[in-house]
């Protein structure tokens, strides 16, 4: 039986990923800060027939992550897949986020992926097998307002992973690396995140089901891909950023108001301490969430879309020049 490790696994996308591996017959090890919610997640997954190990740990603590990896190897004999999913954020204008808050978001969203990857590699390089999956976001390449700390941290994940991938290729390692770029997802996170805006956070449409994200992660382990992009909004943002970054800036500016919900007081959220509440996958907007399998693409498919878009722009440009030439010719008679 194979073993998958999932960080940030007590709720939301992490719990959906763990559930997907359990349904496929894998053992799962769950890492998160909140012991109570981890225990609840364990009960839910065991009720579905899963073999589950829970490891309360702060993923921003490298020593704790390494200790968790050793415990997993001791109990299960090895690690076949490691999914770095943990994250945190502060919803606020960039100038209202403190240096300590930037440091904490960076530690839980970026450094945690480094620590998890290094812990996995320590085991996988020796075993000459394994898959590592980084859970990132479309906001890594097209940032949004009120999310400066999170966007910056997610952008760093791609740079670290690309560098590491080249090193693994150079040593001819069979360990695989994949990055999953996610859209807006219906998880409990908006109800837990630190929020300093005075308004509840609303994730704009289109919104997607966490189980679609879990399917993409499981696909990356079973059929490794360099990158998988989930949700039409993810590749649309990427195309806009590549082809018309100024236009993408203006569109992103409009997202500020779109994220503003009902008035609320400042919320400390789960930045420094785990939020209370049960282990649950879904957030408050289930009726809006899409769960269509064709809503995720591999990197090669996205590149084909980019080529098609560029070709369309080129053809449109040629046609426009030809039309202008005809008008100019007619005006001389």
Percent residues over pLDDT 70 in the chain: 87
Q: What is the rounded distance in angstroms from the CA atom of residue 89 to the CA atom of residue 8?
A: 13
Strand 199-201 to 260-263 pairing? antiparallel
Is residue 325 predicted with pLDDT exceeding 60? no
Is residue 329 predicted with pLDDT exceeding 80? no
Quote the tokens at residue 3. 């073993």
The total domain count for the chain is 1
CATH number for the domain that contains residue 100: 3.40.50.720
Q: How confident is the model at residue 247 (pLDDT cuts 50, 70, 90)?
A: confident
Domain that holds residue 40: 3-331
Task: Give 4-50 pLDDT, tens digit per residue.
Answer: 999 999 999 999 999 999 999 999 999 999 999 999 999 999 999 99
Cβ–Cβ < 8 Å for 42, 11? no
Q: What pLDDT, on the 0 to 100 scale, is given for residue 257?
A: 72
Q: Look at phi and psi of residue 130 and say left if phi exceeds 0, alpha if psi is from -120 to 50, else beta.
A: left
Cβ–Cβ < 8 Å for 293, 212? yes
Quote the tokens at residue 266. 């400042």
Is residue 113 predicted with pLDDT exceeding 60? yes
Q: Whole-model pTM above 0.85?
A: yes
Is residue 244 predicted with pLDDT exceeding 80? yes
Which ranges of the chain does DSSP label H, i.e. alpha helix? 12-23, 35-47, 62-76, 99-106, 112-127, 148-170, 189-192, 210-222, 232-243, 245-253, 255-258, 299-331
Active site residues: 150
Distances (CA, A) of 17 to 24, 45, 47, 231: 11, 11, 16, 17
Task: Give 264-305 pLDDT, tens digit per residue.
Answer: 999 999 999 998 889 999 998 878 877 765 666 665 555 555
Of 55, 52, 4, nearest in space to 214 by CA: 4
Q: What is the mean pLDDT of residues 118-146?
A: 96
Percent residues over pLDDT 90 in the chain: 72
Burial 13-25 (b: 16+ CB within 10 A, else e): bbbbbbbbbbeee
Q: What is the rounded distance in angstroms from the CA atom of residue 185 to the CA atom of residue 5?
A: 21
Secondary structure percentages of the chain, helix, strand, coil, to 5: 55, 15, 30
Of 103, 101, 118, 110, nearest in space to 136 by CA: 110
Q: What pLDDT, on the 0 to 100 scale, is given for residue 318?
A: 45
Strand 131-137 to 260-263 pairing? unpaired
Task: Give 69-109 pLDDT, tens digit per residue.
Answer: 999 999 999 999 999 999 999 999 999 999 999 999 999 99
Q: Which of helix, strand or coil describes residue 183? A: coil
Q: What pLDDT, on the 0 to 100 scale, is given for residue 328?
A: 53
Q: Which of helix, strand or coil describes residue 160? A: helix
The lowest-confidence range among 18-32, 141-155, 202-216, 245-259 is: 245-259
Q: How confident is the model at residue 327 (pLDDT cuts 50, 70, 90)?
A: low
Q: How confident is the model at residue 132 (pLDDT cuts 50, 70, 90)?
A: very high
Q: What pLDDT, on the 0 to 100 scale, is given for residue 301?
A: 54
């Amino acid at each position: 039986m194979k073993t998958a490790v999932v960080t940030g696994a007590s709720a939301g996308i992490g719990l959906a990923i763990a559930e997907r591996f359990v349904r496929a017959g894998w053992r799962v090890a769950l890492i998160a800060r909140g012991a109570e919610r981890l225990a609840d997640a364990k009960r839910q997954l065991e009720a579905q027939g899963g073999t589950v190990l829970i490891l309360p740990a702060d993923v921003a603590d490298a020593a704790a992550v390494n200790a968790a990896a050793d415990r997993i190897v001791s109990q299960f004999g090895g690690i076949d897949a490691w999914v770095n999913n943990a994250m945190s954020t502060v919803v606020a204008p960039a100038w209202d986020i403190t240096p300590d808050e930037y440091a904490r978001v960076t530690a839980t969203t970026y450094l945690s992926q480094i620590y998890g990857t290094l812990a996995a590699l320590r085991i996988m390089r020796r075993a000459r097998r394994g898959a590592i999956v980084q859970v990132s976001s479309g906001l890594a390449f097209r940032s949004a307002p009120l999310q400066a700390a999170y966007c910056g941290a997610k952008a760093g994940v791609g740079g670290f992973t690309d560098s590491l991938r080249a090193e693994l290729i150079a040593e001819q390692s069979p360990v695989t690396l994949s990055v999953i770029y996610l859209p807006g997802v219906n998880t409990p996170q908006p109800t837990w995140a630190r929020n300093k805006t005075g308004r509840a956070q609303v994730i704009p449409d289109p919104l997607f089901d966490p189980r679609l994200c879990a399917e993409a992660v499981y696909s990356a382990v079973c059929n490794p891909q360099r990158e998988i992009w989930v949700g039409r909004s993810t590749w649309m943002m990427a195309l806009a950023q590549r082809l018309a970054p100024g236009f993408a800036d203006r569109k992103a500016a409009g997202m500020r108001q779109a994220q503003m919900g009902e008035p609320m007081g400042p919320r400390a959220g789960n930045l420094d301490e785990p939020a209370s509440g049960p282990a649950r996958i879904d957030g408050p907007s289930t009726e809006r969430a899409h769960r269509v399998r064709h809503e995720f693409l591999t990197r090669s498919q996205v590149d084909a879309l980019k080529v098609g878009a560029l070709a369309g722009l080129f053809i449109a440009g040629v046609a426009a020049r030809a039309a202008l030439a005809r008008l100019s010719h007619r005006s001389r008679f």
